[in-house]
Each structure stands twice: as C-alpha cells, then as structure tokens.
Amino acid sequence: MVANVSAPFDELTSGRRAWIARAGLAELASAVGRPGRVAVSTRPDLLARVDQHAAAIRESLGGTLLDPVALAGYAAAIRDAARDAGETLDDWSRPTWAMLRLLAVCSLIPA
C-alpha cells in the first residue's frame, strides 16, 4: 500500500516524510530565508542574533547534523505558533523572535 499525502505523518514511509520535509523547508527558504538574508545584509546586528538562534536550534535538536524531518517539524511549530499569535512574518524592519528563529532554521537547512 502506498501512503498518500493526507495520511497521518507518522504512517508515511521515511522517504515520503523526507520529501515532505524538504518541500516545506524549500518553501520556508523562499518565504522567510530570502527576504531575511536581505535584511541581514543591511543590518549586521541581525546576523549575530540569527547565529545565536541557530546554535540554540542545534542544541535543541541534538547536534550539528540535523535531520531535515526534525528541522521541518521544528520550523512548522514555530511558524504555526507565530501565525496563531497574529504575526505576519514579513516585516524585516522589526523582526520578531519567530522571524529570527525561522531565518536561523533556513541557515541550517542541509544542502
């Protein structure tokens, strides 16, 4: 039996979970990573803050080599909480904790 995308996540094959995770991370890289990198390039103070977030994420997820599925799940939880709180995640003139955390996730996406 082949799992479909609407199946509960834990019932999907590991390959399908990885594919979904990579797709989610690619979307995050486009929506948050690209404009976030532009903001960082014009505001050096943000780079240090993003680096601190990246270190905290690595520690939280248990290492330097991060599993894309774990990283995507982590990012989804941050993004969902921010949206539930009414954040739009697009005002880089005043980046929120969630925006910086998601930009840090983008910096950790495996190549």
Q: Is residue 83 part of a domain?
A: yes
Q: How many CB atoms sit inside 10 A of residue 54's CB?
A: 18
Number of compact structural domains in the chain: 1
Number of residues that make up the chain: 111
Sequence-distant (≥ 6) Cβ neighbours of residue 105 within 8 angstroms:
25, 28, 57, 71, 74, 75, 78
pLDDT per residue as tens digits for the range 77-104: 999 999 999 999 999 999 999 999 999 9
CB 73 within 8 A of CB 57: no
Token pair of 78 as six digits: 């941050």
Q: Is residue 6 part of a domain?
A: no
Domain that holds residue 62: 12-108
Q: Is residue 63 part of a domain?
A: yes
Q: Is residue 2 part of a domain?
A: no
- Cα 29 to Cα 108: distance, rounded to the nearest angstrom: 10
Question: What pTM does this model have?
Answer: 0.85
Q: Is residue 17 part of a domain?
A: yes
Q: Is residue 3 part of a domain?
A: no
Q: Is residue 19 part of a domain?
A: yes
Q: Is residue 1 part of a domain?
A: no
pLDDT per residue as tens digits for the range 24-70: 999 999 999 999 999 999 998 999 999 999 999 998 888 766 788 88
